[in-house]
A = this chain, B = another copy of it.
Amino acid sequence: MARAGRRPGQTESRQRILVAARGLFGRKGYDGATIRAIAADAGVNPALVHHFFGTKEQVFIAALNIPVNPASLVPRIVDGPREEVGQRIVRLILEVWRNPETRQAFLALLRSVTSHDAAVRMLRQFVERAMLERLADALDVPRLRLSTAAAQVIGLALVRFVIGVDPLATADEEDIVELVAPVIQYYIDGGWPVS
């Protein structure tokens, strides 16, 4: 919607887009919100949203302060020997959560998810589109197995870094990789390692 008065500066436009995006993702979910609608709510041209952020996914990441970009994580999981996918996933989650700033941002997300239904819905759709669908396609793994593997690494992060239950909270990363990687590999491969 066009507004009267002077044209807003870049910083102001960017801020207005982020505020509009948070509102719209909350009301419509990730799937229901469009760049066009976000632009309209912010009173700017859709081209400006693309110019600042690129895709809807990137608008979401900026608006919700998502600490990592899933698009950049997927290749780190997919690239490399198939029989080491489990290892790469466990190493990646430990590395991402080890960073205190990332951890704080994830905690803020977890708080909003346990407090607001709207936050749950938009985050769920985002996780499905940006992470699970891409991985399921790239690895050719049934979704149920992939989401259960996700449950394992999310629970691992929660117990190690948030609740801090010992000895998982203080264990060596290598010991955790050794213990958990075969489980993720089992979910991905659909069977136990032959040994």
Contact = CB atoms under 8 A, between A and B. Distances in A.
Contacts of A123: 163
B111 A148 contact: no
Interface string A157-189: 011101111111001000110011011001100
Give the interface SS of chain A, mostly helix, strand, loop or mixed: helix
Contact of A156 (B128, B148, B171, B176): B148
B186 A144 contact: no
Copies in the complex: 2
Contacts of A182: 186, 192
Size bin of chain A's contact surface: 35 or more
A155 B113 CA distance: 14
A154 interface: yes
A138 interface: no
A180 B159 CA distance: 18
B132 A162 contact: no
Contact of A151 (B132, B155, B166): B155
A115 interface: yes
Interface of A: 107, 110-111, 113-115, 120, 123-124, 127-128, 132, 143-145, 147-148, 150-156, 158-160, 162-168, 171, 175-176, 179-180, 182-183, 186-187, 192-193, 195
